[in-house]
Amino acid sequence: RWAEGQGGGGAEERKSPLPPSPSAPLRAITLLVFAASFAFYFLWTNDLIGKVHFPTGDEPYYLLIAHSLVHDRDFELTNNFENEDFYHFYPGELYPRHEAITPKPHFISKHTLGLPVLIALPYLWDDWRGAAHMLNLIGALLAVNVFLLAHETTQRWRIALLVWAALAFSIPLAPYAVLLFPEAPAALMILYAFRRLRLWSESSLAQKFFVGLCLAYLPWLHARFLFIVFGLILFLLVQS
């Protein structure tokens, strides 16, 4: 019986997904991963802005919402189009206007508020460049979470570094860490939530709070992320 008890305890230990406490070398490697990722995205952003000169695609629409948030304290864009506030970062007429259909005659963008809220203060600091550097920061944090998940899974920092290098400097992570789209913030929140949900019973109250915050914020980045929220909640229930 004593042997069975000992064997059962060992099985429980082997099943636990909890990684060991980060050692000083692992913390140092994690900081280097963050610094290298951020430096790469930061320099690429400066080079891109120097060559392209203005944002493209949906980027100017997110910037205009951020402009309205910090200067008008709202997200109603009638006056922003009338005043041509997009000339701060866009050289021509911003068309089509991407209006949402609303019950009242308000000019609300069809783009969600999640990304503009994240880039609003950096935009106030340095317009398009400041907003883009905020995405660099988010991309670097995403790269760190890639490294940490690989390390938690394999317990080998060399393998984790290879996984990080393969993903952080290639498509799709690298471009989304430079361009103003909701994918990088969403990926960061999804990956962080997944990492903590794997270790839910061992997670601190603060970590659980941040998981809840991530899950609540994801639909504000785009409605399509709601399906991933449901999937992560189901994953937690199955784990429990």
Looking from the CA of 79 toward its CB, the CA atoms found within 13 Å total 9
Residue bearing tokens 């601190």: 204
- 3-24 average pLDDT score: 51
pLDDT at 7 over 70: no
For the chain, the average pLDDT equals: 90
Judged by DSSP in three states, 39 sits in: helix
Structure tokens at 81: 């189009």
* pLDDT tens-place string over residues 171-207: 999 999 999 999 999 999 999 999 999 999 889 999 9
For position 97, what pLDDT does the model report? Answer: 84
* pLDDT tens-place string over residues 125-151: 999 999 999 999 999 999 999 999 999
